[in-house]
Amino acid sequence: MKSKIYHFTNIIKLIIIVGVIFCINTSSSKIKTKSNNENFNKTIDLSTMALYINKEEEQKRNEEALQTYLWGSLDSYTGDLTGYGADCPLCTGHLACMGNLDISNGKNTYNDKTYGVINIVASSKNLPCGSIIRFLNKRLSDEPIIAIVLDRGVLGNDIDLLSPSEEYAFKYVGRSSITYDVLRFGWEK
């Protein structure tokens, strides 16, 4: 009987030890949860999103700065606008600022590397060769006219717009008072 009690006591001790271990294990174990995201479009990486937004904002600021640089007025002048053609009585068909550019065939535009295809004007030496100007003349266009100074032969702040012919200049350009903005002083360096 003594051995049965001893054996029974050992079984009780074992049950108590297993019970204590079980209680300790369940109370201190971490609850693990598993989350599956099966829709990858809902995954958001906020740091990547912030970098993307910052890059977009920086690009927008750079574009705005470029537009301001290209189209912002550096100065404004008021003078008379007249027109002339390469076939004028004293014209040689060549421009004072670009002697190698032949305009005797009626060509009255220039392809600038920054501003694209633009009109040609003559000015006094107040504006250096290669200067870009912008003016509005409703008689010629509803949109602002962009032009480059490639010729000389006028006084003060006056501008002479190169036209396809003297007849065109007389008929469509005439003489009018304008205010023009300088977008670039001289050639880019």
CA distance 20 to 18: 6
Task: Dump pLDDT digits (tens) for 5-35.
Answer: 666 677 777 788 777 776 666 655 555 555 5
Q: Which of 16-25, 26-35, 68-77, 130-139 has the lowest mean pLDDT?
A: 26-35
Q: What percent of the chain has pLDDT over 90?
A: 45
CA distance 25 to 38: 33
User: pLDDT grade, residue 178 (50/70/90)?
Assistant: very high
User: pLDDT grade, residue 110 (50/70/90)?
Assistant: very high
Q: Is the pLDDT reported for residue 173 higher than 80?
A: yes
DSSP 95-114: -SS-TT-B-TTS--EEEETT
DSSP secondary structure code for residue 171 in this structure: I
C-alpha distances (whole Å) from 178 to each of 80, 129, 134, 135, 159 are 6, 20, 10, 7, 9
3-state DSSP call for residue 10? helix
Side chain identity, residue 134: R
Handedness of CA 48, 54, 55, 57 (dihedral sign): positive
Q: Could you tell me if 149 and 129 are in contact, meaning their C-beta atoms sit under 8 angstroms apart?
A: yes
CA atoms lying within 13 Å on the CB side of residue 140? 22
Q: Could you tell me if 79 and 178 are in contact, meaning their C-beta atoms sit under 8 angstroms apart?
A: yes
3-state DSSP call for residue 126? coil
Q: Is the pLDDT reported for residue 160 higher than 70?
A: yes
Q: Is the pLDDT reported for residue 51 higher than 90?
A: no
Residues forming a β-bridge with 182 = 75, 133
Domain 73-184 architecture:
Beta Barrel (2.40)
